[in-house]
Chain A
Amino acid sequence: MKGGQAIIKSLTDAGVEVVFGYPGGVLLPLYDVIYDSNLRHILVRHEQCAAHAADGYARASGEVGVCIGTSGPGATNLVTGIATAYMDSSPILALAGQVPSHLIGNDAFQEVDTLGITMPITKHSFQPMKAKEIPGMIKSSFYIASTGRPGPVVIDLPKDVQEEEFEPEKNIKIELPGYKPTKKGHPLQIKKAAKLIINSKKPVILAGGGVILSESSLELLKLSETIGAPVTNTLLGKGSFPEDHELSLGMLGMHGRKTANFLVDECDCLIAVGCRFSDRTTGNVDEFAKNAKIIHIDIDPAEIGKNIEVDVPIVGDAKIVLRDLLDMIIKYKSNITTDEWVNHVKEFKNACIPRMTYNDVPLKPQTVIKEIFDTLEDDTIVTTDVGQNQMWMAHYFTSKHPRTFLSSGGLGTMGFGFPAAMGAKVAKPETDVVAVCGDGGFLMVCQDLATIKEYDIPIVICILDNRRLGMVAQWQKLFYDKRMSHTHLGEVPDFVMLAESFGVNAERLERPGDIKDCLSNALKSGEPTLLDIIIDPEEILPMVPPGCGLTELVGEYKVERENLEEITYHEKSQEKVGD
């Protein structure tokens, strides 16, 4: 067997059905094997999209996503996607071509130190120097990428190793003596946590992406309902708890819901599950949950105590720990009275339902999100790009199921939304997939319209078109004296013409009420579609300025009112609907 054949066989053995890639000189041996293999290969139009698509595939399905790029520029083009996956603990495997082993270190044509470059952004990496190492390395890669705290793995494949003949072994063993992720939480810690929870009057749960990765949404729901703890989520935790549940507070943080930010401030016990207390979530750490004892459950010991001092750390898989914790709580106290706190939560929630209904033209982004939400099925997968579009979605969109809201959180990578949607659709062909992007971010990856057309990947791209680098412009407006340095994007391109030039259906939408029909028709059409939605560039997201505590929201927090008619007809006279 040749090295290249071993690569494809190992991938297939690991259950891989599809890879996203882009060939090149040093990958010729591998691509020659792909040519007549059963593996589905999707030729993207930029390697960054291969990595994001693999990432979207992984986030939508829970399976390891695979991407391929050639040596040198192919590998460096993958880097942004690998870093994005690393920051958000997404399991991907990136296969990079490398110059023949005897040339490594000589600055050969298209040589780059891929392992060196990716070391800080991978969970682990390998470089086989003999073809016989390939099966073990690939098997180990899948194991490492998908277990413990998931993350990307890179395999750097010298050209000659892909060509080398070898005698494959029957049993492929994984030998990783230094890798033993903890699963079960320490019973004493769980006991401490249970006592703390029972003795608290105002518990709040903070759910992060770890809940989704460990598939523990059901356990989370049970815990929340049993102890009467409302649940707020991080950006990556969106969908871990149904946001239409009466105990859901929505997202916490810099662009969080008012209810979430204030109740975390008020709570006396914060149960954080599978999250890493990023600065975007906590605001000023000295102010964060200052009235609460904090319980932190995470599979990665290094996350505990890194950003926030906690009272009860529990290292383990969220699913197992939540189960054990709930058992322990029930053992101590079978009926917990929760009415007072739960009623307070409900009242507060009702007083600050964010306003989304407007009749304005240009469209208010809130209205766009509402119309998109009203159109979609509960199980539709939405992806976002980065910037205001992402935060409008995070703040206003109601996610009900895990793995249905995919967004680049940690790295905040513009250009993520569209290719991630492509990957998600490939993973879940039966599910509707909608990408919500800013005009700036979409333009960074628009060449892959060719891919969704050629491979018939019927996603719908909604561009929230404000002709601005909206999020940066918002900061300039709020914190830099309205000096709009390089955040206006001008008149081009015409996104409808752009899409049509790729053979992708497209439409421009400008008025309230336009979205529903267009979007549902597009989803029904079974063809890729782009909707260019013109929005009000001046609208500002609710926000907590950096360095402030979570309750220090700037500007008014507009709430939905029953006397809506009255408000919307006075739109131009600067309505005051703050609470």
Chain B
Amino acid sequence: MEEERTHIISALVLHKPGVLQRVAGLFTRRGFNIDSITVGTSEKEGMARMTIISRGDDKVLEQITKQLNKLIDVIKVRDLEHETTVKRELCLIKVHSPTEKIRSEVIQYAGIFRGRIIDVSSETLTIEITGDSDKIDTLIDLVRGFGIKEIARTGPTAMSRGIKTM
């Protein structure tokens, strides 16, 4: 058995109806796992970029890239190397903070992680934080004690460092 690793797959796809379904369907049908998937417009008109985080050994990864490449609506697929890739995720956390004391603690934690408070109510604070997934996990763990009302994470999006493009 080869070693399972987490892979960051970046795919340039045609921006049209059904593409996400084709990609997601391919993963389910072939038994590949998806930890997360993000989609948005790209620098090229009519094309979108998908970032898929998946786990598997090298053989599985090879199949994923090859099968993705076979989809007619997929233009390009790259397995991004961890060392030479910047990877960021956005997360919103709504924390239960009914007292002045808790509120100031939460704000402090958010500050340490370069998070921002983007919404306040008498009962809650909402933190916005960007970073790699580990950093977000750590902040979530820290504020968990206060009571988390809601979390929304985008899943990571990524690209190569430096001048290299796909």
| Given known contacts A120-B29, A302-B66, A302-B67, A176 and B21 CB-to-CB distance under 8 angstroms | no
| Given known contacts A119-B21, A120-B25, A120-B29, A178 and B72 CB-to-CB distance under 8 angstroms | yes
Which residues from chain B contact A177 at a C-beta distance below 8 Å? 14, 75
Query: Is A301 in contact with B66, judged by CB distance below 8 angstroms?
Result: yes
Name the distance in Å between B59's Cβ and chain A's nearest Cβ: 7
Which residues from chain B contact A115 at a C-beta distance below 8 Å? 18
Task: Let me know if B70 is at the binding interface, CB within 8 A.
Answer: yes
Query: Is B72 in contact with A301, judged by CB distance below 8 angstroms?
Result: no
Query: Is B62 in contact with A305, judged by CB distance below 8 angstroms?
Result: yes
Which residues from chain B contact A123 at a C-beta distance below 8 Å? 72
Which residues from chain B contact A301 at a C-beta distance below 8 Å? 66, 69
Which residues from chain A contact B5 at a C-beta distance below 8 Å? none
Interface size on A, residues (CB 8 A): 18
Query: Is A144 in contact with B72, judged by CB distance below 8 angstroms?
Result: yes
Name the distance in Å between A355's Cβ and chain B's nearest Cβ: 43
Task: Let me know if B151 is at the binding interface, CB within 8 A.
Answer: no
Query: Is B59 in contact with A305, judged by CB distance below 8 angstroms?
Result: yes
Interface string of A111-138 (1 = CB under 8 A from B): 0000110011001110100000000000
A127 to B18, CA, bound (A): 10
A306 to B64, CA, bound (A): 11
Query: Is B25 in contact with A178, judged by CB distance below 8 angstroms?
Result: no
Task: Let me know if B166 is at the binding interface, CB within 8 A.
Answer: no
| Given known contacts A178-B75, A305-B62, A119 and B25 CB-to-CB distance under 8 angstroms | yes
A84 to B149, CA, bound (A): 50
Additional A-B contact list (4), CB under 8 Å, known A115-B18, A127-B17, A302-B69: A124-B72, A176-B72, A305-B62, A306-B63
Chain B residues engaging chain A, CB cutoff 8 angstroms: 13-14, 17-18, 21-22, 25-26, 29, 59, 62-63, 66-67, 69-75
Chain A residues engaging chain B, CB cutoff 8 angstroms: 115-116, 119-120, 123-125, 127, 144, 176-179, 300-302, 305-306
Between A and B, 27 residue pairs with Cβ closer than 8 Å are: A115-B18, A116-B21, A119-B21, A119-B22, A120-B26, A120-B29, A123-B72, A124-B72, A124-B73, A125-B18, A127-B18, A144-B72, A177-B75, A178-B13, A178-B71, A178-B72, A178-B73, A178-B74, A179-B72, A300-B70, A301-B69, A302-B63, A302-B66, A305-B59, A305-B62, A305-B63, A306-B63
